[in-house]
Amino acid sequence: MRKLKILVILSILLIPLSSLLALDIIDIPLSPKNIFNLNKGKKEIIITIDDGPTPGVTDIILDELKNQNIQAAFFVIGQKAEKNPELMARISDEGHIIGNHTLTHPILTKLDPSNWKQILNGEFFGTHQKIETYFNQQREWYFRAPGGAWESKLAQYLNQDPIGLRYLGPLYWDIGGEILYSNGKYLSAADWDCWRKNLSVHQCLEGYSNETVKFKGGVILFHDVRKESAELITEYIKSFKKLGYSFKTLDDIQL
């Protein structure tokens, strides 16, 4: 685990922050706000997949990622991880990043005020205990808040613990957050909402594709809960490989 050095010494040395991170010298604490604008404009795509693992869905996605030689980041639900050790092992063994997405997917900004610390402990650290054995060679430990719901007091509390301090996040996304429709076409899409509104895979893909082209790549949000998302991811990868986009991982970019 990286060690936190005295900031005064770092200031004197005037070492760039990016260099310190590359050398694994310091920890960056969980941010009081979501980390946005992660990797737009480079024609690079980072696939992130939330809310699994789900038998019959995650394994299909893993098959496609393996066929295409692409690594993704799976932000898993702790309870699901515990119930599906074979899928967790496969995610890890095939070189994908595993991230913390809490134990039960609560909206963290709406926890009971009387015992929010106790609930947060179980959701965050309880998930860490269930997934840490699957961390492979990933450079960082990553966290994403369910629904992107986050506030500074949560970061302040978790950063008091060395495990919380070791995590990077909460990571938001660049593409895949909402459905926008205008002038007869989908400008953006979110897979979970596509299926809730009975959109087809083709319609959902149109939204993801238009938003990806608009921003020239970035961190993409998918979910491994329904089989339609597995089909969507397959078609998305094929489409953007043809367009000459490259596929990276969270470990490849400077956050």
Read off the pLDDT of residues 201-238 as tens digits, 9 standing for 90 and up: 999 999 999 999 999 999 999 999 999 999 999 999 99
Residue 139: is it exposed, middle or buried by C-beta count within 10 angstroms (0-12/13-18/19+)? middle
Q: What is the predicted pLDDT for the residue at 137?
A: 82
Q: What is the predicted pLDDT for the residue at 14?
A: 39
Per-residue confidence at 27, pLDDT binned at 50, 70, 90? low
Q: Where are the chain's structural domains? A: 1-28, 31-252
Which residues pair with residue 247 across a beta bridge?
45
DSSP-assigned states of every residue in 150-174: --HHHHHHHTTSHHHHHEE--B--S
Q: Are 122 and 115 in contact (CB under 8 A)?
A: no
Q: What is the predicted pLDDT for the residue at 245?
A: 98
User: Rounded to whole angstroms, how far apart are CA atoms 231 and 143?
Assistant: 26
Helix, strand, coil fractions of the chain, as percent rounded to 5 = 45, 15, 40
Give me the CATH code for the 31-252 domain, please: 3.20.20.370
Supply 132's token pair.
């840490």
Read off the pLDDT of residues 141-166 as tens digits, 9 standing for 90 and up: 999 999 999 999 999 999 999 999 99
**The residue type at 135:** F
Check whether 5 has a pLDDT greater than 50: no
Q: Are 99 and 74 in contact (CB under 8 A)?
A: yes
Instruction: Identify the three-state secondary structure at position 42.
Output: coil
**The residue type at 149:** A
